[in-house]
A = this chain, B = another copy of it.
Amino acid sequence: MIDKDDFRPITRSRRRATITNAKSETVKLRNGETAAASDPKARESFTKNLQAQLSQDSKRKCDLYDKMSCHKLQESMLSSASSFKNYRGILNWCVVMLVLSNARLFLENLLRYGILVDPIQVVSLFLKNPYSWPAACLVIVSNVFILLALYTERKLAMGLISEKAGLLIYIFNLTVVLCFPMIVVLKLPSITPVGGAFALGVYTILFLKLYSYKDVNRWCRERTQAKARSLSRSLSCPSSQSPSSGMQSHVSYPGNLSLRDIYYFVLAPTLCYELNFPRSESIRMGFLLRRLFEMLLLTQLLVGLTQQWMVPIIRSSMKPLQEMDYSRMTERLLRLAVPNHLLWLIFFYSFFHSSMNFVAELLRFGDREFYRDWWNSETITYFWQNWNIPVHKWCLRHFYKPLLRRGAGKLLSQSAVFFASAFFHEYLVSVPLRMFRLWAFMGMMAQLPLAWFVARFLRGNYGNAAVWLSLIIGQPIAVLMYVHDYYVTHYQDDPTVTEAL
What is A's interface to B at a CB cutoff of 8 Å?
1, 3, 5-14, 18, 30, 32-33, 35-36, 38, 46, 49-50, 53, 57, 61, 63-65, 67-79, 84, 86-98, 100-101, 103-104, 107-108, 110-111, 215-216, 219-220, 222-223, 226, 234-236, 238-239, 241-242, 245-248, 250, 270, 272, 274-281, 284, 286-287, 290, 294, 327-328, 330-331, 334-335, 337-338, 341, 349, 353, 356-357, 364, 366-373, 375-377, 393, 397, 401, 405, 461, 464-465, 468-469, 472-473
Contact = CB atoms under 8 A, between A and B. Distances in A.
A98 B226 CA distance: 60
Nearest to A345: B93
Contacts of A74: 366-369
Contacts of A468: 89, 92-93, 96
B241 A36 contact: yes
Nearest to A277: B71
Nearest to A369: B74
A10 B281 contact: yes
Contact of A11 (B8, B36, B246): B246
Given A70-B393, A96-B472, 6 more contacts: A5-B287, A13-B245, A36-B241, A67-B216, A74-B366, A92-B468
Nearest to A336: B104
- State the copy count for this chain: 2
A238 B100 contact: no
A334 B98 contact: no
A272 B107 contact: no
A219 B276 CA distance: 89
A366 B96 contact: no
B78 A353 contact: yes
B36 A93 contact: no
A210 B368 CA distance: 72
A70 to B, nearest CB: 5
A93 B375 contact: yes
A5 B284 contact: yes
A10 B248 CA distance: 8
A150 to B, nearest CB: 19
Contacts of A469: 96, 100
B238 A72 contact: no
A370 B71 CA distance: 11
16 contacts: A9-B281, A33-B236, A33-B241, A63-B405, A67-B397, A72-B367, A75-B368, A76-B369, A77-B371, A89-B373, A94-B95, A98-B98, A101-B338, A103-B334, A107-B327, A107-B334
Contact of A89 (B235, B284, B377): B377
A281 to B, nearest CB: 5
Contacts of A33: 235-236, 238, 241
Contacts of A327: 107, 110-111
Given A235-B46, A277-B71, A334-B103, A13 B246 contact: yes
A235 B86 contact: no
Contact of A8 (B103, B280, B372): B280
A270 B71 contact: yes
Contacts of A334: 100-101, 103-104, 107
Given A104-B334, A216-B68, A10 B280 contact: yes
Contacts of A226: 61, 64
A5 B33 CA distance: 67
Contact of A366 (B73, B393, B473): B73
A286 B236 CA distance: 74
The 5 closest A-B pairs by CB, nearest first: A104-B334, A71-B367, A89-B375, A32-B238, A73-B366
Contacts of A405: 63
A401 B248 contact: no
A279 B77 CA distance: 18
Contacts of A94: 91, 94-95, 98
Contacts of A367: 71-74
A373 B86 contact: yes
B92 A331 contact: no
Given A235-B49, A275-B68, A338 B97 contact: yes
Q: With a 10 A CB-CB cut-off, give which of A79, A226, A246, A401 has the most chain B CB atoms.
A: A246
Nearest to A34: B238
Nearest to A386: B77
B236 A30 contact: yes
Nearest to A70: B272
Contacts of A91: 91, 94
